[in-house]
Chains A and B, each alone.
Chain A
Amino acid sequence: MMKKAWGSVWVSLLLVGILGLMGCGQKTETKKEGADSKQSAKQEAKADAGKGKKTFVMVPKVVMPYYEPCFEGFKDAAAKYGAEVEYLPPNEMKLPLQVKVIEDLIARKVDGIAISALDDIGLKQVINDAMAAGIKVVTFDAPAPSSNALSYIGTINEAAGAAAAEEMIKTMGGEGELAILQGGLVSSNLNQRFEGFKKTIETKAPNIKIVAREDTEGKIDTTVAKVEALLQVHPNLKAFFGVSATDAPGAAIVIEEQKKVGKILIGGFDDTPDTLSAIRKGTVSFALAQQTYKMGWLSVVKLCEAIEGKTIEKEINTGLLVVTKENVDSYMSEMKANVEKSDAAK
């Protein structure tokens, strides 16, 4: 019917419009995070021409506030070392999207890529292709050990878990019932954190009992529902530990509503705005902030060294900062200051 033919035209127009909008969304990111709009265009042209300043691109797993300090460090280091930078996060945490970004960068012949690897095996091929094409690749925040990436700059997850456990023992006073929340039981980095955490608790705090471990799927609705249920099952529960970034703030919502702040303690991972807000309120006792600024900064440093032909370390542990109510507002500037200091000392 003719109506359907017209219908297809409208649908196509609509799809083109939507794709255009999404494309704009992407570009806005780069324009905002990189230099201003005019410079961004010039950067691309320069990168494509292959001369002038080096171009480094940061590819996180997805759009997320967690990565913003990473890029800040990336950007600041680039300003110091004379490189142009771009920020290209995929819209969704989906492997094919991240692969596509790298493929596009290979075509554009950029100088360096810092990638937070969504999937080690899944990215192996495209990272190796980039290396083969002469682009220097380092991983940050999440490693890709199967590939030829030059380095992993980030948190060593098992050690991170152990450090978190130390903090938890302190917070709990060495005893009590503890429930673990994990946003997905499949990711290796989360499991490594959990293993490190568990080992330390078992060896150093025999009076702390882990009574439950629940999968929160990284979703707020699930986290809240599980915490509510756990509070019912374990009436003597003393603390929650959140392994992934969304767990502690989710637990905080429930603890605040049930007016159990201070009675039930929460410790977590990553310094998302929600977690920091909860720390300020006292609902969350501590969060282990990954040194995201440092990851970004060191990525640029190491990429520059690699371009100069120097060998770089296979693994750089950027370590963690414990964020508590005391330093919640100052920790970030402290982190930045530390990084710049150690860099200057080189």
Chain B
Amino acid sequence: MTKSIDSTGRAGRNFLLDLLKQKEMGVFLALVAIVAFLVCKTDSFASKDNLFAVSRQIAYVAIVALGIFFVIVTSGIDLSVGSLVCLSGVICALVLQGGHHPLLAVLAGLLTGAVAGAINGLLVSYVGVTSFIVTLGMLSVAKGAVLVLTHGDSVRGSTEQFSTFLDFGKRTFLDGRLSMPVVVLLVLAVICYIVLRYTVFGRRLFAVGGNEQATELSGINVRGIKFFSFVIASVASSIVGILYIFQYNSAQSSAGEGMEMDAIAAAVIGGTSLLGGQGSVVGILIGAIMMGVIRNGLVLMKVDAYWQKSIIGAIIVLAAVIDILRSKRK
């Protein structure tokens, strides 16, 4: 939405017109066009198996993107999310391998994210170091920690607890159409939507991003808000790290690598402004779907391997350019 998420509270206006004017409509229509194109041009895009696979790939990125959204809205950035996906997964798997209860393992994984996020938040909000530097540092620290713990190998499961854990996670829904990550995404998306639109915390997030000084002078604890946004981003990453184990049957030392780029791109495509104060859950979902569909489509269309990377890079740049043009027009 052009302003914060609450712009269409007007009564009696043309609903359809308002819908079309929504900021996300542009990308949504683009997405519909791409999907339609792929459905026509390939017989495999719309197949049950492909949709299952693609929706799961999208879910991973989307959950990280939702988490990072909280940080971006407050005008920050978090580059450590990818490496935290990896680290959290490694720790969760190690706990399972140690023969401990799966719930404990999940807790350990989430705690990894929480602690890392707290450190990020502390350094950015209370010490005042810029988020780019702090999270870049955390990225290295997390990567290094993974190396120390795994020596570059993966953490494979052999304990009973590991199997129980996997059994739970490999469950599918809707007759094998929806994977666990997709279900988790849907739940998280709804929660995020409600928090961002209807709660004080959500309102304050957007306020901080819209004008940090004015918000602070209005009596709001800006530091606390920013601190929590980093914790949320990192915990979201942990969730994905844990979800990956269900698919990989292990914690891989290259899992989540480079994910921050996809997450940020998804956010920007979906209408989030990197300057803060703007964006929506719907936009994030559209952006993540767009990224996943394009990646999938490139392979399905048998695009030459050498071109694929360039195309994806070009799309990310395009998204950033559109973002700037959008903010300039206002």
A219 to chain B, nearest CB (A): 5
Q: Does A64 contact B299, Cβ atoms closer than 8 Å?
A: no
Contacts of B250 in A (CB 8 A): 274
Contacts of A63 in B (CB 8 A): 147, 151-152
Q: Which of B57, B143, B309 has the most CB of A within 10 A?
A: B57
Q: Does B299 contact A253, Cβ atoms closer than 8 Å?
A: no
* In the complex, the 4 A-B pairs of residues with the closest C-beta atoms, listed nearest first: A232-B44, A229-B299, A228-B53, A7-B127
Interface string of B110-147 (1 = CB under 8 A from A): 00000000000001001111000000010001011001
A83 to chain B, nearest CB (A): 24
**A113 CA to B53 CA in the complex, in Å?**
46
Interface string of B211-237 (1 = CB under 8 A from A): 000000000000000000000000000
Contacts of B259 in A (CB 8 A): 221
What 14 new A-B contacts, CB under 8 Å, besides A7-B129, A233-B300? A25-B144, A63-B147, A65-B152, A214-B299, A214-B305, A215-B308, A220-B254, A228-B54, A229-B53, A232-B53, A233-B42, A233-B302, A258-B49, A274-B156
B298 to chain A, nearest CB (A): 8
Contacts of A4 in B (CB 8 A): 128
- Residue of B with least CB distance to A256: B249
B302 to chain A, nearest CB (A): 7
Tally chain B residues at the interface, Cβ within 8 Å: 47
A sample of 8 inter-chain contacts (CB < 8 A) reads A91-B143, A185-B305, A214-B299, A215-B306, A220-B254, A253-B248, A258-B49, A277-B156
Q: Enumerate A232-259 residues with CB–CB distance to B below 8 Å.
A: 232-233, 235, 246, 249, 253, 256-258
A21 to chain B, nearest CB (A): 8
Q: Does A92 contact B123, Cβ atoms closer than 8 Å?
A: no
Q: Does A218 contact B (CB under 8 A)?
A: yes
Interchain CB contact (< 8 A) of B296 among A62, A185, A212, A225: A225
B86 to chain A, nearest CB (A): 10
A93 to chain B, nearest CB (A): 10
Q: Enumerate A3-33 residues with CB–CB distance to B below 8 Å.
A: 3-4, 7, 10-11, 14-15, 18, 22, 25, 28
Tally chain A residues at the interface, Cβ within 8 Å: 50
Q: Enumerate B31-62 residues with CB–CB distance to A below 8 Å.
A: 42, 44-45, 47, 49-50, 53-54, 57, 60
Q: Does A109 contact B (CB under 8 A)?
A: no
Given contact pairs A63-B152, A215-B308, A253-B249, A221 touches B256 in the complex (Cβ within 8 A): yes
A133 to chain B, nearest CB (A): 30
Q: How many A-B residue pairs have CB under 8 A?
A: 111
**A47 CA to B106 CA in the complex, in Å?**
47
Contacts of A185 in B (CB 8 A): 305-306
Q: Does B152 contact A230, Cβ atoms closer than 8 Å?
A: no
Contacts of A230 in B (CB 8 A): 299
A39 to chain B, nearest CB (A): 22
Q: Does B144 contact A91, Cβ atoms closer than 8 Å?
A: yes
Interchain CB contact (< 8 A) of B137 among A18, A91, A235, A257: A18
Interchain CB contact (< 8 A) of B153 among A92, A215, A273: A273
Contacts of B54 in A (CB 8 A): 228
**A230 CA to B247 CA in the complex, in Å?**
18
Contacts of B257 in A (CB 8 A): 219-221
Which residues of B approach A to under 8 Å, CB–CB? 42, 44-45, 47, 49-50, 53-54, 57, 60, 123, 126-129, 137, 141, 143-144, 147-148, 151-154, 156, 244, 247-250, 252, 254-259, 295-296, 299-300, 302, 305-306, 308-309
**A272 CA to B306 CA in the complex, in Å?**
27
Q: Does B247 contact A224, Cβ atoms closer than 8 Å?
A: yes
Contacts of B42 in A (CB 8 A): 233
Contacts of B295 in A (CB 8 A): 225
Q: Does A232 contact B60, Cβ atoms closer than 8 Å?
A: no
Q: Does A209 contact B (CB under 8 A)?
A: no
Q: Does A336 contact B (CB under 8 A)?
A: no
Contacts of B302 in A (CB 8 A): 212, 233
Q: Does B248 contact A220, Cβ atoms closer than 8 Å?
A: yes
**A280 CA to B309 CA in the complex, in Å?**
34
Q: Does A46 contact B (CB under 8 A)?
A: no
**A329 CA to B128 CA in the complex, in Å?**
54
**A206 CA to B259 CA in the complex, in Å?**
40
Q: Which of B53, B141, B306 has the most CB of A within 10 A?
A: B53
Q: Does B128 contact A218, Cβ atoms closer than 8 Å?
A: no
Interchain CB contact (< 8 A) of A14 among B123, B252, B305: B123
**A156 CA to B257 CA in the complex, in Å?**
30
A225 to chain B, nearest CB (A): 5
A258 to chain B, nearest CB (A): 8
Interchain CB contact (< 8 A) of A7 among B128, B247, B306: B128
Q: Does B255 contact A273, Cβ atoms closer than 8 Å?
A: no
- Residue of A with least CB distance to B50: A232
**A276 CA to B308 CA in the complex, in Å?**
31
Contacts of B153 in A (CB 8 A): 65, 272-274
Given contact pairs A63-B152, A185-B306, A220-B248, A226 touches B299 in the complex (Cβ within 8 A): yes
Q: Does B147 contact A10, Cβ atoms closer than 8 Å?
A: no
Contacts of A3 in B (CB 8 A): 128
**A232 CA to B295 CA in the complex, in Å?**
14
Q: Does A325 contact B (CB under 8 A)?
A: no
- Residue of B with least CB distance to A233: B300
Q: Does B296 contact A11, Cβ atoms closer than 8 Å?
A: no
